Amino acid sequence: MGIRGKLLTLMVIIITVPLAILGVVTMTQTSSLVTDNTQVFLENEMELKGNNTETVDSRMSEISTQILLNSEMQDGLSGFDMSDVSYETLQFRQDTEEFLFSLTHSNDLISNIAIIKPNGTLISSGGQSSLLSAEELETISTKPWYQKAEELAGIGSWVGAAPDIIEEGNRISYVRLLNSMSGGDPLGVIRISVDREAFLTAIGQDAESVAAAINSWNATAGSDEASTAATSGEDGEEEATDVGKEEEKSHGVVNESTGTVFLVLDSNQANFLNPSAPVAEELKSTFQNIGSETGTTSTTINVSGNDYLVVADKIGDTGLTIISAVEKSQLLSGLSQVQTFMIIIGVVLVVIALIVSGIMAIRITRPLNKLAEAMKKVEGGDLTVRSDVKAKGEVKVLSDSFNNMVSQLSTIVTSVKVATGSLKESGDYLTANSASVNQASNEISQAVEQIAVGASNQSESINAGAEITDTLSEKIKDVVKSIYTVRMATNETEKMGNEGQQKVTYLTETSTESMGRLQEMAAEIEKLESESQQINTIVETITDIANRTNLLALNASIEAARVGEAGRGFAVVASEIRMLAEQVQSASKEIADMIHLTRNDMNHVAGQMHGVRELFESQGELIESNADAFTNILSGVARIKTELEQLDNGAGEMLAQREQIVEVMELNANVSEETAATCEEVSASAEEQMASVSDLTMQIGGMDKQIIELQNQISSFIIEATDFVVKDEDETETHDDIDLQGKTEEHAEDDETISRSEAAVSVEDEEQDEEAEDTQKKE
C-alpha cells in the first residue's frame, strides 16, 4: 500500500473509531443518567406523597378519636333505639347528626360519616339516619370493611374503594370500631367515607391526572359486576394483568407528560383506589415481602417483556403502599433521535475526511515522486542533478536537503581526489621520520614511570577520605529517619485535629438548629396562649347568654303560672329551656376550668423551655471554646510541619553534598587508577611502537595501492567543472621540497610540545596530591 492509501486509511480510522467510541459511551452514560435522575425524582416524589398520606391518615384518626371521646354520644348510643320516637331520642339523633355533620364539613376530604350499631341503627352526617332491615344489616355485616373494623377492635384502618352506603358512587373509607368507654360491648362501627379525587389531590397528585383517572374508573364501574369485582378486590382475589399495556393504564393515575403510573395497594396487595382493576402478579411478588418495613424502595421489574422502573413507599402502619412506575423504553425513547443524528454526523465526517485526505495525499506524493527520480540519478553516479520540486513545508525542506547533500557529496568527491595525492606524500614523510619516533618513545617511557608513582600515592589518600565520608553519611541518614518519624506523627496529629474541628463545626450547626426549633416552639406556645384567651372570652359570652336565657325562662314560668291552665304547656317549655341554660352554664364552667389548666401547663412548659434555652447558650459557648482550641492546635501543628520541612531540606542538601564529595573522590580514585594503568600501557606501547615502525613502512606500501584503487573509483562520479590549476612537474617538485622541510620543522616542534606536556602532567599530579591532603584535613 502506498503513501496515498495509508493516508486515506489513517484518516478514516482517526475519524471513525473515536466517533464510534464517543457515541457508545455517550449513549450508555446518557441512558444511565436519565434512569438515575428519574429514579431520584420518583423517590423524592414518593417521599413527599408518603408524608402527605401519613398526614391524611392522622387527620382521619383525629376525627374518629373525637367521635370516640364524645361522652354524650357514648351515653346516648348505649341506649339509643331508632324505633323510639320520644323527644329525648329525637333530640339525641339530631344532636348526633349535627355533630357528625360539623366533623364532615370541617375536613374537605370527607364525603360523609356513618355510625352503624349492631342492632341495625344507622346514623349519618347527611341526615339519612334510619333503621336497617335484617337483610340490609346482614349484608353490611358481611362487608370486608365492617369485618375488618371488628377484627382490629378500636384501631383505625383504611379500606379500598367500594359503593358508599350513604351516597351514590364508589369511595374509599376509614373504619374504626366504636368501643364503649365504660368497658361494655362495642357501640357500633364508624365509617368515614373519603372521596378518591380529594384523597389523591391531598397527597400531591396533579388535578388533571386525577380527573382523567376518576372519569376512567367511573366509566368502568357503573354495573353491579364492577361492584362485585371491587368487593373481591378487597379480599385480594383477582387475576394478574399487565400494568404496562396501554388499555390498562386506567388501573392507576397516569401522568401523560411523564408517562408515570401511580398506584395505591392495600395490605392484601389489591388496588386500593380501583379494586375492579387487578394488579400484575409481578408487581405483587415484588412488594409482598416488604412486611412491616417502611420507607422508599426502588427496583426494576419485567412485565410481559417490558422493563419498568418502580418506586414504592409503605406508609407506616396504615397497610397502604404507594407506587410509581414508568416504562424504561419510554424514558429512553428520546435518545434514539440523538443516536440517528450522531450516525449522520459520523458519515458526513468520514466523507469529508476521505476528500481532504485524498487531496493531501496527492499534494504530498507528487513532489516525493519527483524527488525519488532525482535520487535514482544520484544512485547512478550523476552528482550534477538537482531537485526542482516546487512545494512548501517539510517537502520543501527535504528537497533543499537533497540538493545540499548532492552538493556536499560532490565537494567530498573532489576533496578525496585532492586528499589521495596528499596522502601519498604523507606516506613518504612517515617513512623518513621513523627514527624520530623511536627516540620520542624512549622519552615517553621515562615520563610515564614518574606519573605512575604519583598516581599510586594519590589513590591511597582518596581511599582514606572515602571511609570518613561513609561514616558521615550514616549519621546523616539516622537524622533523616528521625525527621521522617516526627513528620508522620505530626501528620497524624493534624489529621485528628481536622476531624475534631469538623465534629465541633457539626455540633455548632446542630446546636444552632436546635435553638431555632426551640424559639419556634416558644412562638407557638405564645400563640396557643393567645388563642386560649380568646376561647375564654367566648366561654364567658356563652355563660352570660345562658344566664340571660335562665332569667328569661324564669320570667316565662312566672307568666305561665299567672295564665293558669292555658299556660301549662308554655311552662313546660320554659322549664326545659331553664334546664338547658343550667347545663350550658355547667359546661361553660368546665370549659373555663380546662382552659385555665391548659394555660397553667403552657406557662410551665414556657418556663422549662427558657431553662433549655439557657443550657443551649452555655453549650454554644463551650463549643466555641473547643473550636478555638482546635484552631490553636492546628496552627501549632502547621508551624511544626514547617520546621520539619526545613530540617528535612537541610538533611537532603547534606546528603546531596555528601554524594557530590563521594563522586569527586571516586572520580579522582578512578583517574589515579586509570592513570597508573595508562602509564603501564603507554610504557608497553612505547616498546611496541619500535616494532610497529617497521610494520608501518610496509603498510604505507599497501596504502599506495589502495590510493590508486580509490582514485579509480572516484573517477566514476560525474561532477561539475572546478577551478583546479594543474601545475607542471618543476613546480610540483619545488612544492614537495618545501612541504618536506616544513614537516621536518613541525616534527621538531612536536617533540618540544611532548616534553612540555610531560612536565605539565607532573605538576598537575603534585597539585592533585596537595588538594587531596587539604580535603582530608578539612574532613
pLDDT at residue number 239: 37
Residue 67 CA: distances (Å) to CA of 16, 57, 165:
76, 16, 19
Residue 696 CA: distances (Å) to CA of 423, 426, 574, 691, 757:
14, 12, 163, 9, 26
Distance CA 591, CA 585 (A): 10
CATH 3.20.140.10 corresponds to the domain 45-331: no
**Among 727, 717, 7, 2, CA closest to 355:** 7
Q: What is the mean pLDDT of each run of 10 residues along the chain (779 residues)?
A: 69 76 76 77 83 88 86 78 75 85 87 85 79 79 82 84 82 86 78 88 80 74 44 39 42 72 80 77 65 68 76 81 78 68 80 78 73 76 74 74 80 78 69 63 66 68 70 72 75 77 77 76 77 80 82 80 75 80 80 80 76 74 75 77 74 71 71 71 68 68 72 69 42 40 44 45 50 52
pLDDT at residue number 756: 45
Q: 707: which 3 cell numbers?
A: 590510493
Q: What is the pTM (predicted TM-score) of this model?
A: 0.43
Query: Where in the chain are the domains?
Result: 45-331, 372-419, 456-675
The DSSP call for residue 298 is E
pLDDT at residue number 70: 83
Distance CA 84, CA 98 (A): 19
Write out the H or E segment, with its range, that includes residue 749: helix 729-778
pLDDT at residue number 770: 57
The answer for residues whose C-beta is within 8 angstroms of residue 71's C-beta and 6 or more apart is 181
**Among 132, 129, 125, CA closest to 146:** 132
Distance CA 265, CA 320 (A): 6
Contact status, residue 339 vs residue 22, Cβ threshold 8 Å: no
pLDDT at residue number 333: 64
The answer for residues whose C-beta is within 8 angstroms of residue 235's C-beta and 6 or more apart is 144, 268, 270
User: Which CATH number is associated with domain 456-675?
Assistant: 1.10.287.950
Q: 202: which 3 cell numbers?
A: 391531598
Contact status, residue 638 vs residue 417, Cβ threshold 8 Å: no
**Whether the domain at 45-331 and the domain at 456-675 fall into the same CATH topology:** no
Distance CA 26, CA 663 (A): 57
Distance CA 637, CA 634 (A): 5
Q: 489: which 3 cell numbers?
A: 506523627
pLDDT at residue number 422: 75
Distance CA 441, CA 448 (A): 11
Q: 392: which 3 cell numbers?
A: 512548501
